[in-house]
């Protein structure tokens, strides 16, 4: 089944993508290390909060950005078609090895803007130790919530990973 211009068919297709057993936002980023974070990505669940989505390969992430991820977020087939076309145009000009560059995030975020606010794209290793503002903010919020006062945005230490995994599973920034 694929999305088409009839809203009821689109709604049925979108609903078929919600697999509670393999929801991209609930995947373990240690095993599915390529991801993105977007706000408003849970709007169809009645909230405007965001979440991470994790994929096993950079290619799977790239496919999701231009496909099923957009379908899950769109309100209707027409909006999906417009955004899908815009995202496809951005991805067509982006070599696979450049997907995680900050220069790609802006155009991708702009293309997705009607349905979600793409905030970050990268790897689990980036969230653990990267220096981009979002990565530092996530670690800082994790640590200040845990009562830490020193090096709050520094790399996640190995002993912190289990608690950090729980934290980012429900992070809604």
- DSSP string covering 49-72, please? --EEEEESSHHHHHHHHTTHHHHH
User: For residue 25, is it within any domain?
Assistant: no
Of 1, 166, 2, the C-alpha closest to 84 is 2
User: For residue 120, is it within any domain?
Assistant: yes
Q: Which domain holds residue 165?
A: 7-20+30-169
* Tens place of pLDDT per residue across the chain (173 aa): 444 444 566 455 445 544 545 567 778 899 999 999 988 754 444 556 788 989 999 999 998 888 767 666 777 778 878 888 999 999 999 998 899 999 999 999 999 887 888 999 999 999 999 999 999 999 999 998 766 667 789 999 999 999 999 999 888 77
Residue 100: per-residue pLDDT: 93
Residue 92: per-residue pLDDT: 92
**Alpha helices (runs of H) in the chain, residue ranges in sequence order:** 7-16, 58-65, 68-73, 77-92, 102-112, 124-129, 133-145, 161-169
User: For residue 139, is it within any domain?
Assistant: yes
- Number of domains present in the structure of the chain: 1
User: For residue 2, is it within any domain?
Assistant: no
Report the predicted TM-score, pTM, of the whole model to 2 decimal places: 0.80
The answer to whether 41 and 53 have CB atoms below 8 angstroms apart is yes
User: For residue 76, is it within any domain?
Assistant: yes
User: For residue 66, is it within any domain?
Assistant: yes
Residue 31: per-residue pLDDT: 93
Q: How far apart are CA 25 and CA 54, in angstroms?
A: 6
Q: Say whether 147 sits in a helix, a strand or coil.
A: coil
Non-local (6+) Cβ contacts of 126 within 8 A are 100, 132, 135
User: For residue 1, is it within any domain?
Assistant: no
């Amino acid at each position: 089944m694929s999305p088409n211009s009839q809203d009821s068919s689109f709604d049925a297709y979108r609903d078929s993508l919600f697999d509670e057993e393999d929801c991209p936002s609930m995947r373990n980023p240690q095993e599915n290390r390529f991801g993105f974070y977007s706000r408003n990505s849970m709007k169809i669940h009645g909230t405007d909060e965001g979440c991470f989505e994790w994929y096993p390969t950079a290619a799977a992430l790239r496919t999701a950005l231009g496909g099923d991820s957009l379908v899950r977020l769109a309100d209707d087939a027409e909006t999906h078609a417009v955004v899908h076309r815009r995202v496809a145009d951005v991805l067509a000009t982006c070599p696979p090895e450049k997907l995680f560059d900050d220069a790609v995030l802006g155009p991708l975020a702009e293309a997705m803007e009607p349905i979600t606010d793409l905030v970050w794209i990268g790897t689990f290793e980036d969230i653990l130790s990267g220096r981009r503002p979002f990565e530092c903010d996530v670690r800082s919020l994790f640590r200040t919530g845990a009562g830490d006062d020193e090096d709050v945005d520094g790399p996640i230490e190995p002993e912190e990973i289990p608690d950090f995994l729980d934290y980012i599973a429900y992070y809604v920034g």
